[in-house]
Amino acid sequence: MTDSRWAHSPRIVEAMRRAAELADRVRGSTSPNPPVGCVILDEAGSVVGSGATRPPGGPHAEVVALREAGSSARGGTAVVTLEPCAHVGRTGSCAVALREAGVARVVYAVEDPNPSAAGGAEELANSGVAVADGVLAEEVSAGALRGWLHFVRNGRPHVTWKYAASLDGRSAAVDGTSQWISSPESRAEVHRLRAGCDAVLAGTGTVQADDPRLTVRDESGAPLRRQPLRVVLGDRELPAGARVFDDSAETLRLRGRDPGEALRVLAERGVVEVFLEGGPTLAGAFLRAGLIDRVQAFVAPALLGSGRSALGEAGVVSLSQAWRFYFERVTMCGPDVWISAVPVEG
């Protein structure tokens, strides 16, 4: 679709940002469906409805927003983060729902790359609805839809590797102690990042050394209602009493050491985003396989001099072989530096 001037009005841009915020709130709860946000403006440009995709089997964002808008949607504008679907599955076509509600315009940020659901924009345009795309496309693509778009385009889950380390890149001291290198502020942020993923993955070595729960907790330490799938990868035997096997969340035990095979199994389960919290060995294996799509690093203002490195063998013997990333975001998190980095393409 070709952008129109009306699609970039301040009210519509503001509505798109609001839709993106709504989508971000449900990220991690909609898989394998995309986390989408929608805002409905009436003919005068006022917000009369908003919503985000519900968990699988529930209504999509457009339907939630239309229900809230009611008759006020007629003649108005639907602002959606992803092209409305033309697919009829467990729920009906969003394109049909928008058309039947009588909206006059539909603006979306990102074209749907899923061939089984795409085509909604064309269907709407053919029925006389004014359609425009590309509004805040880059911003929306890098937000809640990032993992889902990667999943659809690449056929495997999006992998974020998180680590906390000292200034000299150590994740633990010589005696093995690692709690806590990072600050309470960084640890709270990690829980928010976990909450947006479908699965948290760690290796058997990390489970043996740290006995983590791999759950998501709020600032008071209470577990959230929705918990990502906990995944433990590796061949080492683990004690039955390990906290990762408690009843606070579901745990999947995967034997073997092949990151690609692990992601294949998770993709079959509808896992779209994986949060990799494994130790240096597992992180190195994923990096060697080219399967790290984003790094979230929390660097503490401390020096250890020796101890466990944050990253193990990564297949690099010469500087020319270094895995190159670029910083998409660098900010302070309490006393720590929080770095978000993605691979340099090519």
CATH number, domain of 38, equals 3.40.140.10
204 and 330 inside one domain: yes
- Is 280 assigned to a binding site? yes
Range of the domain at 25: 5-148
105 and 174 inside one domain: no
pTM, to two decimals: 0.90
Domain-ending residue, one of 148, 173, 199: 148
pLDDT tens, position by position, for the chain (346 residues)? 444 777 889 999 999 999 999 999 999 899 999 999 999 999 999 999 999 999 998 999 999 999 999 999 999 999 999 999 987 666 778 999 999 999 999 999 999 998 877 789 999 999 999 999 999 999 999 999 999 999 999 999 999 999 999 999 999 889 887 888 899 999 999 999 999 999 999 999 888 888 889 999 888 778 888 899 999 999 999 888 899 999 999 999 999 989 999 999 999 999 999 999 878 999 999 999 999 999 999 999 999 999 889 998 888 889 999 999 999 999 999 999 999 999 998 6
39 and 136 inside one domain: yes
Domain-ending residue, one of 114, 148, 182: 148
14 and 138 inside one domain: yes
187 and 248 inside one domain: yes
144 and 270 inside one domain: no
184 and 333 inside one domain: yes
Tell me how many domains the chain contains: 2
Active site residues: 62
Domain-ending residue, one of 148, 181, 196: 148
209 and 291 inside one domain: yes
Where b means 16+ CB within 10 Å and e means fewer, 26-36 reads: bbbbbbebbbb
- Is 104 assigned to a binding site? no
- Is 284 assigned to a binding site? yes
313 and 249 inside one domain: yes
- Is 225 assigned to a binding site? no
Residue 183 structure tokens? 């600050």
- Which residues, other chains included, contact 98 with Cβ-Cβ below 8 Å and sequence gap of 6+? 62, 66, 78, 84, 106, 124, 129
Q: What is the pLDDT of residue 1?
A: 46
